[in-house]
Chains A and B, each alone.
Chain A
Amino acid sequence: MSETVKIIGKMKESKDTYTLEFKWDAPAMPGQFVMVWIPGVDEVPMSLSRIGKIKAITVKGIGEASNAIHGLQVGDYVRLRGPYGNGFSIKKAKRILAVAGGVGAAALIPAIKETGCDTIIGARSEGEIILDDVARKYSKSVWISTDDGSRGFHGNAVQLAKEKMALRDYDLVIGCGPEVMLYFLHRACKENNVECQLSLERFMKCGAGVCGCCMMDELRVCKDGPVFGTEELDGLSDFGTRKRDECGRIINLR
Protein backbone atom coordinates (compact mmCIF):
# COMPACT_ATOMS: atom_id res chain seq x y z
CA MET A 1 0.00 0.00 0.00
CA SER A 2 1.05 3.62 -0.08
CA GLU A 3 2.28 5.89 2.66
CA THR A 4 3.69 9.38 2.93
CA VAL A 5 6.79 9.33 5.12
CA LYS A 6 9.12 11.95 6.53
CA ILE A 7 12.83 11.81 5.73
CA ILE A 8 14.72 11.45 9.03
CA GLY A 9 18.24 10.87 7.79
CA LYS A 10 20.35 11.60 4.72
CA MET A 11 23.83 10.19 4.15
CA LYS A 12 26.26 10.66 1.30
CA GLU A 13 27.62 7.27 0.14
CA SER A 14 29.73 8.48 -2.79
CA LYS A 15 29.93 11.45 -5.08
CA ASP A 16 26.68 10.51 -6.83
CA THR A 17 24.87 8.27 -4.31
CA TYR A 18 22.81 9.13 -1.23
CA THR A 19 20.89 7.12 1.34
CA LEU A 20 17.60 8.50 2.67
CA GLU A 21 16.09 7.11 5.86
CA PHE A 22 12.47 7.23 6.97
CA LYS A 23 10.21 5.58 9.55
CA TRP A 24 7.76 3.13 8.00
CA ASP A 25 6.15 0.16 9.74
CA ALA A 26 5.26 -1.84 6.63
CA PRO A 27 6.68 -5.38 6.76
CA ALA A 28 9.37 -5.91 4.12
CA MET A 29 11.66 -8.71 2.96
CA PRO A 30 15.26 -8.38 1.76
CA GLY A 31 15.18 -7.61 -1.98
CA GLN A 32 11.81 -5.88 -2.07
CA PHE A 33 11.41 -2.44 -3.59
CA VAL A 34 9.18 0.63 -3.42
CA MET A 35 7.87 3.09 -5.99
CA VAL A 36 9.07 6.57 -4.99
CA TRP A 37 7.09 9.60 -6.12
CA ILE A 38 8.80 12.90 -6.77
CA PRO A 39 5.92 15.33 -7.38
CA GLY A 40 6.05 17.06 -10.73
CA VAL A 41 8.93 14.84 -11.88
CA ASP A 42 8.35 11.08 -11.96
CA GLU A 43 7.80 7.95 -9.89
CA VAL A 44 10.58 5.36 -9.97
CA PRO A 45 11.39 1.97 -8.41
CA MET A 46 14.02 1.80 -5.65
CA SER A 47 15.14 -1.17 -3.58
CA LEU A 48 14.90 -0.92 0.19
CA SER A 49 18.43 -0.79 1.61
CA ARG A 50 17.06 -1.04 5.18
CA ILE A 51 13.92 -2.98 6.03
CA GLY A 52 13.31 -2.63 9.78
CA LYS A 53 10.98 -0.06 11.34
CA ILE A 54 13.41 2.47 9.97
CA LYS A 55 13.72 1.91 6.26
CA ALA A 56 15.96 3.45 3.63
CA ILE A 57 16.59 3.80 -0.06
CA THR A 58 20.03 4.30 -1.56
CA VAL A 59 19.89 6.22 -4.80
CA LYS A 60 22.44 6.81 -7.53
CA GLY A 61 21.90 10.03 -9.43
CA ILE A 62 21.64 9.19 -13.11
CA GLY A 63 18.77 11.29 -14.40
CA GLU A 64 15.90 13.60 -13.59
CA ALA A 65 14.08 11.51 -10.98
CA SER A 66 17.09 10.15 -9.11
CA ASN A 67 18.69 13.59 -8.96
CA ALA A 68 15.41 15.04 -7.71
CA ILE A 69 15.44 12.42 -4.93
CA HIS A 70 18.92 13.70 -4.00
CA GLY A 71 17.34 17.12 -3.54
CA LEU A 72 15.14 15.83 -0.70
CA GLN A 73 16.21 16.97 2.78
CA VAL A 74 15.64 15.74 6.33
CA GLY A 75 12.10 16.84 7.27
CA ASP A 76 10.73 16.59 3.71
CA TYR A 77 7.87 14.23 2.93
CA VAL A 78 7.89 11.54 0.28
CA ARG A 79 5.11 9.24 -0.90
CA LEU A 80 5.98 5.59 -1.37
CA ARG A 81 4.06 2.58 -2.69
CA GLY A 82 4.92 -0.98 -1.83
CA PRO A 83 6.86 -2.87 -0.66
CA TYR A 84 6.62 -4.80 -3.91
CA GLY A 85 8.18 -7.93 -5.36
CA ASN A 86 9.23 -11.29 -4.03
CA GLY A 87 12.67 -10.62 -2.53
CA PHE A 88 15.45 -13.12 -1.80
CA SER A 89 14.64 -16.43 -0.19
CA ILE A 90 17.66 -17.02 1.98
CA LYS A 91 16.22 -19.07 4.83
CA LYS A 92 17.45 -22.48 3.77
CA ALA A 93 20.88 -21.57 2.42
CA LYS A 94 23.85 -21.88 4.74
CA ARG A 95 26.86 -20.55 2.89
CA ILE A 96 25.85 -17.49 0.90
CA LEU A 97 27.92 -15.19 -1.26
CA ALA A 98 26.46 -11.77 -2.07
CA VAL A 99 27.76 -10.15 -5.25
CA ALA A 100 26.99 -6.47 -5.81
CA GLY A 101 27.73 -4.31 -8.81
CA GLY A 102 27.51 -0.55 -8.35
CA VAL A 103 24.32 0.69 -6.73
CA GLY A 104 23.07 -2.94 -6.75
CA ALA A 105 24.68 -3.16 -3.31
CA ALA A 106 21.62 -1.31 -1.96
CA ALA A 107 19.31 -4.25 -2.71
CA LEU A 108 21.66 -6.76 -1.04
CA ILE A 109 22.37 -5.04 2.28
CA PRO A 110 19.22 -6.31 4.08
CA ALA A 111 20.08 -9.90 3.07
CA ILE A 112 23.69 -9.43 4.14
CA LYS A 113 22.45 -8.10 7.48
CA GLU A 114 20.09 -11.03 7.97
CA THR A 115 22.63 -13.75 7.13
CA GLY A 116 26.06 -12.27 7.76
CA CYS A 117 27.09 -13.78 4.45
CA ASP A 118 30.34 -13.21 2.56
CA THR A 119 30.15 -10.17 0.32
CA ILE A 120 31.75 -8.88 -2.85
CA ILE A 121 31.22 -5.25 -3.71
CA GLY A 122 32.33 -4.22 -7.16
CA ALA A 123 32.50 -0.85 -8.88
CA ARG A 124 34.30 0.82 -11.74
CA SER A 125 36.71 2.64 -9.44
CA GLU A 126 37.44 3.36 -5.79
CA GLY A 127 35.24 6.46 -5.56
CA GLU A 128 32.17 4.47 -6.64
CA ILE A 129 32.36 1.75 -3.99
CA ILE A 130 29.32 2.14 -1.73
CA LEU A 131 27.96 0.53 1.43
CA ASP A 132 31.14 -1.52 2.07
CA ASP A 133 31.25 -0.07 5.62
CA VAL A 134 27.67 -1.23 6.24
CA ALA A 135 28.42 -4.68 4.80
CA ARG A 136 31.50 -4.95 7.01
CA LYS A 137 29.32 -4.41 10.11
CA TYR A 138 27.40 -7.61 9.36
CA SER A 139 29.76 -9.96 7.56
CA LYS A 140 33.27 -11.15 8.34
CA SER A 141 34.44 -11.25 4.74
CA VAL A 142 33.87 -8.26 2.51
CA TRP A 143 35.92 -8.18 -0.67
CA ILE A 144 36.17 -5.22 -3.01
CA SER A 145 36.76 -5.24 -6.73
CA THR A 146 37.35 -2.31 -9.06
CA ASP A 147 37.55 -2.45 -12.84
CA ASP A 148 40.52 -0.08 -12.83
CA GLY A 149 42.30 -1.68 -9.89
CA SER A 150 42.18 1.50 -7.79
CA ARG A 151 41.06 -0.56 -4.80
CA GLY A 152 40.90 -4.25 -3.95
CA PHE A 153 40.79 -6.90 -6.68
CA HIS A 154 41.68 -5.57 -10.13
CA GLY A 155 38.82 -6.77 -12.33
CA ASN A 156 35.08 -7.09 -12.21
CA ALA A 157 32.91 -8.53 -9.45
CA VAL A 158 32.09 -11.68 -11.44
CA GLN A 159 35.77 -12.54 -11.93
CA LEU A 160 36.31 -12.13 -8.18
CA ALA A 161 33.19 -14.21 -7.44
CA LYS A 162 34.57 -17.01 -9.61
CA GLU A 163 37.77 -17.05 -7.56
CA LYS A 164 35.86 -17.16 -4.29
CA MET A 165 33.53 -19.90 -5.52
CA ALA A 166 36.54 -22.01 -6.41
CA LEU A 167 38.00 -21.56 -2.92
CA ARG A 168 34.88 -21.87 -0.78
CA ASP A 169 31.90 -24.13 -0.87
CA TYR A 170 28.89 -21.79 -1.33
CA ASP A 171 25.37 -23.13 -1.69
CA LEU A 172 23.79 -19.85 -2.82
CA VAL A 173 24.92 -16.72 -4.63
CA ILE A 174 22.71 -13.64 -4.44
CA GLY A 175 23.37 -10.73 -6.76
CA CYS A 176 22.28 -7.33 -7.96
CA GLY A 177 23.88 -5.02 -10.48
CA PRO A 178 23.94 -4.22 -14.19
CA GLU A 179 22.22 -6.89 -16.27
CA VAL A 180 25.28 -7.85 -18.29
CA MET A 181 27.17 -8.46 -15.05
CA LEU A 182 24.29 -10.59 -13.75
CA TYR A 183 24.18 -12.52 -17.01
CA PHE A 184 27.80 -13.55 -16.53
CA LEU A 185 27.28 -14.16 -12.81
CA HIS A 186 24.47 -16.59 -13.64
CA ARG A 187 26.80 -18.39 -16.06
CA ALA A 188 29.59 -18.52 -13.50
CA CYS A 189 27.23 -20.00 -10.91
CA LYS A 190 26.09 -22.68 -13.32
CA GLU A 191 29.66 -23.61 -14.16
CA ASN A 192 30.37 -23.95 -10.45
CA ASN A 193 27.11 -25.73 -9.71
CA VAL A 194 25.96 -23.09 -7.23
CA GLU A 195 22.34 -21.89 -7.00
CA CYS A 196 21.81 -18.21 -7.62
CA GLN A 197 19.12 -15.60 -7.00
CA LEU A 198 19.56 -12.39 -8.95
CA SER A 199 17.61 -9.13 -8.74
CA LEU A 200 16.71 -7.77 -12.19
CA GLU A 201 15.38 -4.46 -13.49
CA ARG A 202 12.85 -3.51 -16.10
CA PHE A 203 10.87 -0.35 -16.82
CA MET A 204 8.08 -0.20 -14.24
CA LYS A 205 4.81 1.64 -14.13
CA CYS A 206 2.37 -0.03 -11.74
CA GLY A 207 4.94 -2.06 -9.77
CA ALA A 208 2.07 -4.27 -8.67
CA GLY A 209 1.79 -6.88 -11.41
CA VAL A 210 -1.11 -5.29 -13.27
CA CYS A 211 0.00 -3.34 -16.33
CA GLY A 212 2.34 -5.89 -17.88
CA CYS A 213 5.00 -3.38 -19.00
CA CYS A 214 7.87 -5.03 -17.10
CA MET A 215 7.64 -8.48 -18.70
CA MET A 216 10.69 -10.66 -19.26
CA ASP A 217 9.31 -13.46 -21.40
CA GLU A 218 6.13 -14.34 -19.51
CA LEU A 219 7.27 -13.19 -16.08
CA ARG A 220 6.57 -9.81 -14.48
CA VAL A 221 9.77 -8.40 -13.02
CA CYS A 222 7.78 -6.33 -10.49
CA LYS A 223 5.66 -9.16 -9.10
CA ASP A 224 7.17 -12.52 -10.13
CA GLY A 225 10.58 -10.88 -9.49
CA PRO A 226 12.58 -8.73 -9.17
CA VAL A 227 14.53 -11.65 -7.71
CA PHE A 228 14.69 -14.73 -9.93
CA GLY A 229 16.30 -18.08 -9.15
CA THR A 230 18.61 -20.20 -11.32
CA GLU A 231 15.86 -22.16 -13.03
CA GLU A 232 13.71 -19.16 -13.86
CA LEU A 233 16.78 -17.39 -15.20
CA ASP A 234 17.62 -20.44 -17.35
CA GLY A 235 14.24 -20.10 -19.03
CA LEU A 236 14.36 -16.35 -19.65
CA SER A 237 15.34 -15.64 -23.24
CA ASP A 238 15.09 -11.90 -22.52
CA PHE A 239 17.70 -12.10 -19.73
CA GLY A 240 20.82 -10.27 -20.88
CA THR A 241 19.47 -9.84 -24.41
CA ARG A 242 16.30 -7.73 -24.60
CA LYS A 243 14.31 -5.15 -22.68
CA ARG A 244 11.28 -3.02 -23.52
CA ASP A 245 10.80 0.73 -23.53
CA GLU A 246 7.84 2.69 -22.14
CA CYS A 247 5.82 1.92 -25.28
CA GLY A 248 6.49 -1.81 -25.02
CA ARG A 249 8.92 -1.83 -27.94
CA ILE A 250 11.79 -4.29 -27.82
CA ILE A 251 15.30 -2.88 -27.29
CA ASN A 252 18.19 -5.27 -27.89
CA LEU A 253 20.84 -5.20 -25.16
CA ARG A 254 23.59 -6.74 -27.27
Chain B
Amino acid sequence: MGRLEITFGRLRLERPGMVASGIMDETGDSMARMIRSGAGAVVTKSIGLEPRPGHRNPTFTEVEGGYVNAMGLPNPGIKLFAEEMEIALRAGPVVGSVFGSNAKDFAMLSAKMEDYGASAIELNLSCPHAEGYGAEIGSDPKNVRSIVSAVSSSVDIPVWAKLTPNTSSIVELGRAAEDGGAEAVVAINTLKAMVISAELRKPVLSNKFGGLSGPAIKPVGVRAVYDLRGALSIPVVGVGGISNWRDAAEYLLAGASAFQVGSAVGTKGPKVFGEINRGLEMFMSDHGYGSIAEMVGVARE
Protein backbone atom coordinates (compact mmCIF):
# COMPACT_ATOMS: atom_id res chain seq x y z
CA MET B 1 0.00 0.00 0.00
CA GLY B 2 0.93 3.66 -0.15
CA ARG B 3 3.71 5.08 1.91
CA LEU B 4 1.32 7.44 3.70
CA GLU B 5 -0.74 4.61 5.16
CA ILE B 6 -0.97 4.50 8.94
CA THR B 7 -2.19 1.91 11.40
CA PHE B 8 -3.56 3.60 14.34
CA GLY B 9 -4.71 1.36 17.17
CA ARG B 10 -7.31 -0.84 15.48
CA LEU B 11 -7.77 1.60 12.63
CA ARG B 12 -6.00 1.69 9.30
CA LEU B 13 -6.05 4.93 7.29
CA GLU B 14 -4.63 5.41 3.81
CA ARG B 15 -3.50 8.92 4.70
CA PRO B 16 -2.45 10.38 8.06
CA GLY B 17 -4.32 13.71 7.90
CA MET B 18 -7.90 13.97 9.10
CA VAL B 19 -10.37 16.86 8.99
CA ALA B 20 -10.64 18.32 12.51
CA SER B 21 -14.06 18.43 14.13
CA GLY B 22 -16.12 21.51 13.32
CA ILE B 23 -14.63 22.22 9.90
CA MET B 24 -16.83 21.55 6.86
CA ASP B 25 -18.22 18.44 8.50
CA GLU B 26 -21.79 19.22 9.45
CA THR B 27 -23.24 17.76 6.24
CA GLY B 28 -22.71 14.48 4.40
CA ASP B 29 -21.78 15.96 1.03
CA SER B 30 -19.27 18.31 2.59
CA MET B 31 -17.58 15.47 4.50
CA ALA B 32 -17.43 13.42 1.31
CA ARG B 33 -15.72 16.30 -0.47
CA MET B 34 -13.06 16.53 2.25
CA ILE B 35 -12.23 12.84 1.93
CA ARG B 36 -12.02 13.12 -1.83
CA SER B 37 -9.69 16.11 -1.36
CA GLY B 38 -7.12 13.85 0.29
CA ALA B 39 -8.10 13.57 3.96
CA GLY B 40 -7.53 10.09 5.41
CA ALA B 41 -10.74 10.42 7.41
CA VAL B 42 -13.10 13.12 8.51
CA VAL B 43 -14.04 13.80 12.12
CA THR B 44 -17.63 15.00 12.23
CA LYS B 45 -18.83 18.23 13.75
CA SER B 46 -19.45 17.47 17.44
CA ILE B 47 -22.99 16.10 17.62
CA GLY B 48 -25.29 16.24 20.67
CA LEU B 49 -28.65 14.83 21.66
CA GLU B 50 -30.89 17.61 20.32
CA PRO B 51 -30.75 20.10 17.43
CA ARG B 52 -28.82 23.19 18.55
CA PRO B 53 -28.48 26.51 16.73
CA GLY B 54 -25.25 27.42 18.52
CA HIS B 55 -24.49 30.92 19.70
CA ARG B 56 -25.88 33.93 17.90
CA ASN B 57 -23.58 35.67 15.38
CA PRO B 58 -20.87 36.96 15.57
CA THR B 59 -19.51 33.49 16.21
CA PHE B 60 -16.25 33.86 14.33
CA THR B 61 -13.54 36.34 13.43
CA GLU B 62 -10.11 36.34 11.87
CA VAL B 63 -7.17 37.48 14.01
CA GLU B 64 -3.46 37.64 13.30
CA GLY B 65 -2.31 34.03 13.09
CA GLY B 66 -5.69 32.39 13.01
CA TYR B 67 -9.34 32.52 13.98
CA VAL B 68 -11.28 33.02 17.18
CA ASN B 69 -14.62 31.21 17.15
CA ALA B 70 -17.47 30.57 19.52
CA MET B 71 -19.85 28.63 17.30
CA GLY B 72 -21.47 27.17 20.41
CA LEU B 73 -21.74 23.62 19.07
CA PRO B 74 -24.45 24.08 16.44
CA ASN B 75 -25.64 20.70 15.14
CA PRO B 76 -28.81 19.01 13.87
CA GLY B 77 -28.87 16.45 16.71
CA ILE B 78 -27.91 12.79 16.64
CA LYS B 79 -31.16 11.55 15.11
CA LEU B 80 -30.99 13.61 11.92
CA PHE B 81 -27.24 13.07 11.62
CA ALA B 82 -27.88 9.49 10.45
CA GLU B 83 -28.55 10.79 6.91
CA GLU B 84 -25.36 12.83 6.82
CA MET B 85 -23.29 9.85 7.98
CA GLU B 86 -24.77 7.65 5.31
CA ILE B 87 -23.70 10.06 2.58
CA ALA B 88 -20.23 10.70 4.05
CA LEU B 89 -19.45 7.01 4.54
CA ARG B 90 -19.80 6.33 0.84
CA ALA B 91 -16.63 8.42 0.39
CA GLY B 92 -14.49 6.98 3.19
CA PRO B 93 -13.88 6.60 6.91
CA VAL B 94 -15.67 8.88 9.37
CA VAL B 95 -14.86 9.43 13.03
CA GLY B 96 -17.92 10.46 15.03
CA SER B 97 -17.35 13.40 17.37
CA VAL B 98 -19.90 13.74 20.16
CA PHE B 99 -20.51 16.09 23.06
CA GLY B 100 -22.71 15.69 26.12
CA SER B 101 -23.05 16.97 29.65
CA ASN B 102 -22.65 13.62 31.38
CA ALA B 103 -21.30 10.11 30.88
CA LYS B 104 -24.70 8.64 30.07
CA ASP B 105 -25.33 11.08 27.19
CA PHE B 106 -21.83 10.55 25.82
CA ALA B 107 -22.38 6.77 25.88
CA MET B 108 -25.74 7.01 24.17
CA LEU B 109 -24.45 9.34 21.44
CA SER B 110 -21.41 7.17 20.85
CA ALA B 111 -23.49 4.02 20.51
CA LYS B 112 -25.55 5.78 17.83
CA MET B 113 -22.42 6.88 15.98
CA GLU B 114 -21.24 3.27 16.07
CA ASP B 115 -24.60 2.14 14.63
CA TYR B 116 -24.25 4.71 11.86
CA GLY B 117 -20.91 3.21 10.85
CA ALA B 118 -18.30 5.49 12.45
CA SER B 119 -14.77 4.06 12.47
CA ALA B 120 -14.04 5.56 15.89
CA ILE B 121 -15.52 7.93 18.45
CA GLU B 122 -13.92 11.25 19.35
CA LEU B 123 -15.17 12.65 22.65
CA ASN B 124 -15.30 16.42 22.72
CA LEU B 125 -14.02 17.06 26.24
CA SER B 126 -12.49 20.34 25.27
CA CYS B 127 -14.69 22.88 23.49
CA PRO B 128 -13.92 26.12 25.39
CA HIS B 129 -17.12 28.06 24.77
CA ALA B 130 -20.28 26.04 25.44
CA GLU B 131 -21.66 26.20 28.94
CA GLY B 132 -22.02 22.81 30.58
CA TYR B 133 -20.13 21.00 27.81
CA GLY B 134 -16.64 20.49 26.43
CA ALA B 135 -13.84 21.94 28.52
CA GLU B 136 -16.21 22.71 31.38
CA ILE B 137 -16.45 19.00 32.06
CA GLY B 138 -13.22 17.96 30.35
CA SER B 139 -10.87 19.96 32.58
CA ASP B 140 -11.37 17.60 35.50
CA PRO B 141 -9.42 14.31 35.20
CA LYS B 142 -12.10 12.45 37.21
CA ASN B 143 -14.79 13.42 34.69
CA VAL B 144 -12.56 12.54 31.76
CA ARG B 145 -11.90 9.12 33.20
CA SER B 146 -15.51 8.32 33.97
CA ILE B 147 -16.84 9.56 30.62
CA VAL B 148 -14.20 7.67 28.64
CA SER B 149 -14.83 4.55 30.61
CA ALA B 150 -18.62 4.76 30.22
CA VAL B 151 -18.25 5.18 26.47
CA SER B 152 -15.58 2.49 26.12
CA SER B 153 -17.86 -0.07 27.70
CA SER B 154 -20.79 0.84 25.47
CA VAL B 155 -19.13 0.68 22.03
CA ASP B 156 -16.80 -1.74 20.28
CA ILE B 157 -15.03 0.82 18.11
CA PRO B 158 -11.99 2.82 19.30
CA VAL B 159 -12.67 5.73 21.64
CA TRP B 160 -10.50 8.86 21.46
CA ALA B 161 -10.53 11.69 23.99
CA LYS B 162 -10.00 15.18 22.61
CA LEU B 163 -8.24 17.20 25.28
CA THR B 164 -8.24 20.86 26.19
CA PRO B 165 -5.01 22.87 26.40
CA ASN B 166 -6.76 25.29 28.79
CA THR B 167 -5.54 23.43 31.86
CA SER B 168 -2.56 23.39 34.16
CA SER B 169 -1.68 19.86 33.06
CA ILE B 170 -2.86 18.31 29.81
CA VAL B 171 -0.80 15.23 30.69
CA GLU B 172 -3.01 14.56 33.73
CA LEU B 173 -6.07 14.69 31.47
CA GLY B 174 -4.32 12.33 29.07
CA ARG B 175 -3.55 9.85 31.84
CA ALA B 176 -7.16 9.97 32.98
CA ALA B 177 -8.31 9.20 29.44
CA GLU B 178 -5.87 6.30 29.18
CA ASP B 179 -7.00 4.93 32.55
CA GLY B 180 -10.59 5.17 31.37
CA GLY B 181 -9.83 2.98 28.36
CA ALA B 182 -9.26 5.51 25.58
CA GLU B 183 -7.42 4.08 22.57
CA ALA B 184 -5.96 7.48 21.73
CA VAL B 185 -5.93 11.09 22.82
CA VAL B 186 -6.40 14.02 20.47
CA ALA B 187 -4.56 17.25 21.31
CA ILE B 188 -5.36 20.09 21.14
CA ASN B 189 -8.67 21.93 20.98
CA THR B 190 -8.69 25.73 20.75
CA LEU B 191 -7.12 28.10 23.29
CA LYS B 192 -9.57 30.25 25.22
CA ALA B 193 -9.39 33.75 23.75
CA MET B 194 -11.18 37.07 23.32
CA VAL B 195 -11.38 39.91 20.78
CA ILE B 196 -12.53 43.43 21.65
CA SER B 197 -13.37 46.19 19.19
CA ALA B 198 -11.62 49.37 20.30
CA GLU B 199 -13.92 51.73 18.42
CA LEU B 200 -17.09 50.00 19.56
CA ARG B 201 -15.69 49.22 23.04
CA LYS B 202 -17.25 45.76 23.17
CA PRO B 203 -16.22 42.12 22.87
CA VAL B 204 -16.84 41.06 19.27
CA LEU B 205 -18.18 37.54 19.75
CA SER B 206 -21.74 37.29 21.04
CA ASN B 207 -20.43 34.77 23.57
CA LYS B 208 -17.70 37.28 24.53
CA PHE B 209 -14.91 34.67 24.58
CA GLY B 210 -14.13 31.90 22.15
CA GLY B 211 -11.33 29.61 21.05
CA LEU B 212 -8.18 30.55 19.14
CA SER B 213 -7.13 28.20 16.32
CA GLY B 214 -4.71 28.35 13.40
CA PRO B 215 -0.93 28.89 13.00
CA ALA B 216 -0.72 30.90 16.26
CA ILE B 217 -1.46 27.80 18.38
CA LYS B 218 0.86 25.35 16.63
CA PRO B 219 3.72 25.60 19.15
CA VAL B 220 1.26 24.98 21.97
CA GLY B 221 -0.08 21.90 20.21
CA VAL B 222 3.35 20.53 19.41
CA ARG B 223 4.39 20.90 23.04
CA ALA B 224 1.20 19.16 24.21
CA VAL B 225 1.81 16.25 21.86
CA TYR B 226 5.45 16.00 22.94
CA ASP B 227 4.48 15.86 26.62
CA LEU B 228 1.61 13.41 26.10
CA ARG B 229 3.75 11.08 23.98
CA GLY B 230 6.27 10.96 26.82
CA ALA B 231 3.69 10.15 29.47
CA LEU B 232 1.20 7.81 27.79
CA SER B 233 1.37 4.48 26.06
CA ILE B 234 -1.66 5.08 23.79
CA PRO B 235 -1.22 6.99 20.52
CA VAL B 236 -1.63 10.75 20.26
CA VAL B 237 -3.37 12.59 17.42
CA GLY B 238 -1.90 16.06 16.85
CA VAL B 239 -4.06 19.03 15.92
CA GLY B 240 -3.58 22.79 16.03
CA GLY B 241 -2.22 25.13 13.41
CA ILE B 242 -1.26 22.60 10.74
CA SER B 243 -1.39 24.18 7.30
CA ASN B 244 1.41 22.51 5.33
CA TRP B 245 3.52 19.35 5.27
CA ARG B 246 6.22 20.85 7.49
CA ASP B 247 3.69 21.60 10.23
CA ALA B 248 2.39 18.04 9.92
CA ALA B 249 5.93 16.65 10.07
CA GLU B 250 6.58 18.67 13.23
CA TYR B 251 3.65 17.02 14.95
CA LEU B 252 4.67 13.54 13.77
CA LEU B 253 8.25 14.08 14.93
CA ALA B 254 6.95 15.34 18.30
CA GLY B 255 5.13 12.04 18.73
CA ALA B 256 1.79 12.26 16.96
CA SER B 257 0.76 9.07 15.15
CA ALA B 258 -1.71 10.98 12.97
CA PHE B 259 -2.86 14.57 12.67
CA GLN B 260 -5.91 16.73 11.99
CA VAL B 261 -6.27 19.93 10.02
CA GLY B 262 -8.89 22.58 10.84
CA SER B 263 -8.43 26.28 10.18
CA ALA B 264 -6.18 25.76 7.16
CA VAL B 265 -9.18 24.35 5.29
CA GLY B 266 -10.52 27.91 5.44
CA THR B 267 -7.32 29.71 4.49
CA LYS B 268 -6.06 27.24 1.86
CA GLY B 269 -9.20 25.34 0.93
CA PRO B 270 -9.79 21.57 0.89
CA LYS B 271 -6.80 21.21 -1.44
CA VAL B 272 -4.60 21.63 1.65
CA PHE B 273 -4.84 17.85 2.19
CA GLY B 274 -3.43 17.04 -1.24
CA GLU B 275 -0.58 19.50 -0.70
CA ILE B 276 0.28 18.05 2.71
CA ASN B 277 0.20 14.50 1.34
CA ARG B 278 2.52 15.33 -1.54
CA GLY B 279 4.87 17.32 0.70
CA LEU B 280 5.09 14.53 3.26
CA GLU B 281 5.88 11.98 0.54
CA MET B 282 8.71 14.19 -0.73
CA PHE B 283 10.03 14.71 2.78
CA MET B 284 9.94 10.97 3.40
CA SER B 285 11.88 10.11 0.29
CA ASP B 286 14.39 12.92 0.90
CA HIS B 287 15.02 11.72 4.44
CA GLY B 288 14.74 8.00 3.95
CA TYR B 289 11.49 7.24 5.75
CA GLY B 290 9.60 4.22 4.42
CA SER B 291 6.47 4.85 6.45
CA ILE B 292 4.79 7.53 8.55
CA ALA B 293 5.24 5.29 11.61
CA GLU B 294 9.03 5.57 11.29
CA MET B 295 8.76 9.34 11.77
CA VAL B 296 6.63 9.27 14.90
CA GLY B 297 8.46 10.73 17.90
CA VAL B 298 11.86 10.96 16.18
CA ALA B 299 12.47 14.43 17.63
CA ARG B 300 12.21 12.93 21.10
CA GLU B 301 15.20 10.65 20.70
Binding site for B on A (CB under 8 A): 1-2, 4, 35, 37, 39-40, 42-44, 77, 79, 81, 205-213, 215, 217-218, 220, 223, 244-250
**Residue on B with the closest CB to A205?**
B59
Which residue among B27, B62, B67 has the maximum number of chain A CB atoms within 10 Å of its CB? Answer: B27
Task: Decide: B67 and A210 in contact? CB cutoff 8 A.
Answer: yes
| B27 and A215 contact, CB distance less than 8 A | yes
Q: Which residue of B lies closest to A216 (CB)?
A: B29
B52 lies within 8 A of A218 (CB): no
Instruction: Give the CA-CA distance A4 to B200 in the complex, in Å.
Output: 8
On whether the beta carbons of B265 and A206 are closer than 8 Å, the reply is no
Give CA–CA (A205, B53) in the complex, Å. 11
- A4 near B76 with CB under 8 A, answer no
Residues of chain B at the chain A interface (Cβ within 8 Å): 22-27, 29-30, 32-33, 45, 51-54, 56-62, 67, 69, 71, 74-77, 80, 197-200, 202, 204, 206, 262-263, 265-266, 269
Bound complex: CA A79 to CA B26 (Å): 28
For the residues of B in contact with A, the DSSP-based class is loop
Interchain nearest-CB distance for B4 vs A (Å) = 23
Chain B residues with Cβ below 8 Å from A245 are: 53
Say yes or no: A215 contacts B26, CB within 8 Å: yes
Separation of A235 and B30 alpha carbons in the complex (Å): 14
- Taken together as a complex, chains A and B put the C-alpha atoms of A206 and B210 apart, in Å, by 13
Give B3 Cβ to nearest chain A Cβ, in Å: 28
Inter-subunit contact A248/B74 (CB<8 Å) = yes
| Cβ contact within 8 Å between A215 and B30 | yes
Q: Can you give 9 A-B contacts (C-beta < 8 A)?
A: A4-B199, A43-B206, A205-B60, A205-B71, A206-B67, A208-B60, A210-B266, A212-B23, A249-B51
User: Smallest Cβ distance from A76 to chain B, in angstroms?
Assistant: 10
**Known: A4-B199, A206-B266, A220-B24. Is A213-B69 also a contact (CB below 8 A)?**
no
